[in-house]
């Protein structure tokens, strides 16, 4: 792959959007090649979504086997989240240094092997270590998936391609939830970790053989420090800060809902089985919302539709807070919340690669994803503090409204500035 750089202003030492516009010339840009790349990253995202929610699905059967205390359960969940942060930083750097394909294959093999090792764990300490290492692999996959999807599509469809890939994550989460509701998990807590380990190992060689080795061409091999300097250099510092804030607040809301929504619904009056169905519908709504988010960002004037997407998320949260506790209403509310929150999250994933030059894009996306993972830690903790303080399920949902509106504000500022700065070559 060759990179053609067209200068629109004096070179300031870094290549931000609007100062340099990059045109990537691929060896093969046929629709069949792009379609194959998108199919592969979509399948990888489905498997990633499955593995991300596997711990929550396995927990009810795992707890009695290891006699886990509530604190140990929290550590078990947190171990993967910490691994996700480490993996996102490493995966972004690998994407720039070794290429997107190599980074994705390495991530698939890593979380596949350690998911299988989780299924074979014989003690709590082993569970903790294996789940952390699984998280490292999972975290490393996403920056590579985002960049491959972005680079496989033409300029007019980049956000749509990223959103299509990202739709695989909630679909995988829905499939993980269905393993419990359908009874496929049987009596063994390890079943879901075995499935989550075998699938990425089967996909890894297919990805290696089916994807081109996407990689930037630069005159001098650049180190990690150079890439980090690029993403905090003055021309792109605002974009980086806006991305980090938006990712942190957005994933705070997403992971609070993923971890606490079933429990909040049970406290609201639903049965555990009904709450599980709402969680599945939440993920299915997320699949649809992700696809919509990409189309919003690819519009010629995306500010108003994206702003309406964040407003719709706030309204959906208020709806589920005050709807009566019946299965029908909660299915409707859960689908709307899942669809709207993952719609705006897909906007962020589609926007992230457009903020950085090719040479440091993997690192930039990786750091943004890592910031989001910090939000994914803060979200469940915030819910725990609110519930412990006596907040009702409705109170928790209402508390999320200003958070998602703040995320919307920073996202809209980022889009407005990016569109204003981009100068046609």
Each of the 425 residues of the chain gets a pLDDT tens digit; together they read 333 333 333 333 333 333 323 333 343 445 667 788 889 999 999 999 998 888 877 877 787 888 888 778 778 878 888 899 999 888 888 877 888 888 999 999 999 999 999 999 989 999 999 999 999 999 999 888 988 888 887 767 878 888 889 889 889 988 887 876 666 555 577 888 999 999 999 999 999 998 865 554 443 445 555 667 777 777 788 889 999 999 999 999 998 888 778 778 887 788 877 888 888 899 899 899 988 988 888 788 888 999 999 999 999 999 888 888 888 888 998 899 999 999 999 999 888 888 888 777 888 888 898 999 899 888 888 888 888 888 888 888 899 999 999 999 999 999 888 766 553 33
List, in sequence order, every residue forming a beta bridge with 24; answer none if it has no partner: 3
CATH architecture of 224-425: Up-down Bundle (1.20)
d(CA 412, CA 408): 6
Kindly report, as residue ranges, where domains of CATH 1.20.1250.20 are found in the chain: 27-212, 224-425
Q: Report the pLDDT value the prediction gives residue 194, as an integer from 0 to 100.
A: 92
**Do you know the residue count of the chain?**
425
- CB of 192 closer than 8 Å to CB of 57: yes
- CB of 241 closer than 8 Å to CB of 416: no
Q: Which H or E run contains 425?
A: none
pTM, two decimal places: 0.78
d(CA 378, CA 249): 9
- CB of 377 closer than 8 Å to CB of 83: no
DSSP 156: G
CATH number of 27-212: 1.20.1250.20
Please choose, from the candidates 364, 284, 287, 373, the residue with its C-alpha nearest in 3D space to the C-alpha of residue 331.
Answer: 284
Q: Report the pLDDT value the prediction gives residue 216, as an integer from 0 to 100.
A: 45
Please choose, from the candidates 272, 270, 372, the residue with its C-alpha nearest in 3D space to the C-alpha of residue 320.
Answer: 270
Cβ-Cβ contacts under 8 Å for 105 (sequence gap 6 or more): 204, 207, 208
d(CA 2, CA 24): 6
* Torsion angles phi and psi, residue 380, rounded to 5: -60, -35
Please choose, from the candidates 163, 161, 28, 96, the residue with its C-alpha nearest in 3D space to the C-alpha of residue 357.
Answer: 96
């Amino acid at each position: 792959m060759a990179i053609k750089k067209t200068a629109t202003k004096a070179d300031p030492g870094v290549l931000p959007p609007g100062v340099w516009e990059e045109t990537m010339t691929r060896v093969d840009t046929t629709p069949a090649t792009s379609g194959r790349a998108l199919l592969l990253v979509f399948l990888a995202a489905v498997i990633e979504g499955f593995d991300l929610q596997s711990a929550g699905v396995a927990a009810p059967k795992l707890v009695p086997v290891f006699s886990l205390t509530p604190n140990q359960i929290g550590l078990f969940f947190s171990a993967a989240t910490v691994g996700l942060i480490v993996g996102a930083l490493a995966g972004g750097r690998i994407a720039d240094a070794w290429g997107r394909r190599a980074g994705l294959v390495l991530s698939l093999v890593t979380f596949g092997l350690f998911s299988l090792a989780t299924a074979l764990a014989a003690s709590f300490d082993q569970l903790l270590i294996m789940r952390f290492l699984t998280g490292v692999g999972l975290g490393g996959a996403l920056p590579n998936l985002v960049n491959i999807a972005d680079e496989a599509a033409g300029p007019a469809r980049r956000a749509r391609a990223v959103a299509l890939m990202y739709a695989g994550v909630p679909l995988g989460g829905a499939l993980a939830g269905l393993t419990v509701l359908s009874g496929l998990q049987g009596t063994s807590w390890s079943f879901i970790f075995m499935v989550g380990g075998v699938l990425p190992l089967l996909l890894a060689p297919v990805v290696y053989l089916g994807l081109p080795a996407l990689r930037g061409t630069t005159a001098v091999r650049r180190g990690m420090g150079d890439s980090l300097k690029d993403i905090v250099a003055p021309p792109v510092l605002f974009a980086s800060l806006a991305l980090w804030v938006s990712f942190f607040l957005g994933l705070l809301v997403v992971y609070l809902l993923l971890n606490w929504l079933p429990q909040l619904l049970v406290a609201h009056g639903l049965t555990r089985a009904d709450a599980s169905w709402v969680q599945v519908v939440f993920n299915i709504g997320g699949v649809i919302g992700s696809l919509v988010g990409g189309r919003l960002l690819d519009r010629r004037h995306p500010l108003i539709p994206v702003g309406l997407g964040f407003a719709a998320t706030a309204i959906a949260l208020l709806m589920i807070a005050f709807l009566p506790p019946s299965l029908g209403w909660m299915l409707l509310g859960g689908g709307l919340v899942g669809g709207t929150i993952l719609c705006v999250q897909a906007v962020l994933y589609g926007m992230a690669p457009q903020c950085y030059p090719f040479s440091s894009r993997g690192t930039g996306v990786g750091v943004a994803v890592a910031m989001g993972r910090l939000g994914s830690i803060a979200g469940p903790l915030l819910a725990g503090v609110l519930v412990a303080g006596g907040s009702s399920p409705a109170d928790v949902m209402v508390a999320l409204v200003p958070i998602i509106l703040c995320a919307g504000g920073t996202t809209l500022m980022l889009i407005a500035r990016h569109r204003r700065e981009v100068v046609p070559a």
